[in-house]
Structures are given as structure tokens and as C-alpha cells.
Copies of this chain bind each other. A is one copy, B any other.
Amino acid sequence: MATNKEIEEGSNFTPKFDDEGLIPVIAQDAESGQVLISAFMNREALEQTIQTGYAVYYSRSRQKLWKKGEESGHIQKVRQILVDCDQDCILLKVTVDAGQCHVGYQSCFYRAIKKSSSKKLEFISKKVYNPQKTYKNNA
């Protein structure tokens, strides 16, 4: 078992998976800095990501590996894999095309809480593709 100092100050990559074998992952556009998606990996997804150079996640809803873009075509080419201080979160810097979110937006974070009401969201982005068309064509 690594000590806190080893985990935080060391140079061994020892990612911490949770009780379900998952680690949260943030994907960020390597060029623009835009945060695109938040997802999970299990050990196999992480290994495939490292080996192939393309983002592979673990889908909790479908309970299987999910190569980002396998259906939609909106893949993520991995430029750099960062880990946080306590090694329980991963940040991918990725190169992407337009339309990373399955709802049709570039980023999954396309809404912000309104200043006037904390119960309401405002849309801060426009859709960049039609997901109904994309997912139908690739199904």
C-alpha cells in the first residue's frame, strides 16, 4: 500500500479505482481547454486508452467498455493523460472533431445555472450536429 507521500509526490502511476472498479475521467479539448465530458474508466478501459491512443471509457448504463465515438464517429485522440494529487481522478487532453456530446453539443456542459434562479438552467451553447441523424446512420 503506497503512502500518501508516495501517491502525491511520487512518480509511480497508481490509479485508485473505487469499490466498483471505476475511476472518474475528465476529457478536455487539448487546443481550446474546453471541458468536454465526464465519464468513467475501469482498468481495462484505461489500459486500452493508453495502448491505442484513443479514449475508451466504461459505460455504467450499458456495463461494458465504450470506445468513445464507436457509434457516433466522434472519437477522442488522446494527447496527454494526467492524474490528480491523490490519483483518484484522470484528466485526458484530447483532440476532437465537432460534437462530443450525444445530445448534439460540442461539450456535455451546455447549460449553466441562471443568475436569477438557482433552479433554472440557461443554454450557453448551440448544437453542432443532429444526434438523431448521427445515431440512426450508425446504428
A positions within 8 Å CB-CB of B: 8-13, 24, 26, 28, 32-35, 37-38, 47, 50, 80-86, 89, 91, 101-103, 105, 108-113, 118-124
Contacts and interface: CB of A to CB of B under 8 A. Distances in A.
Given A35-B91, A80-B112, A83-B109, 8 more contacts: A11-B122, A13-B113, A13-B121, A24-B24, A26-B35, A37-B84, A38-B89, A83-B113
Contact of A82 (B83, B109, B120): B109
B89 A11 contact: no
Contact of A112 (B24, B82, B101): B82
10 contacts: A11-B121, A12-B121, A13-B113, A35-B91, A37-B84, A81-B113, A82-B109, A82-B112, A83-B111, A85-B110
Pick from A8, A12, A120, A124 the residue with the most CB of B within 10 Å: A8
Contacts of A86: 108
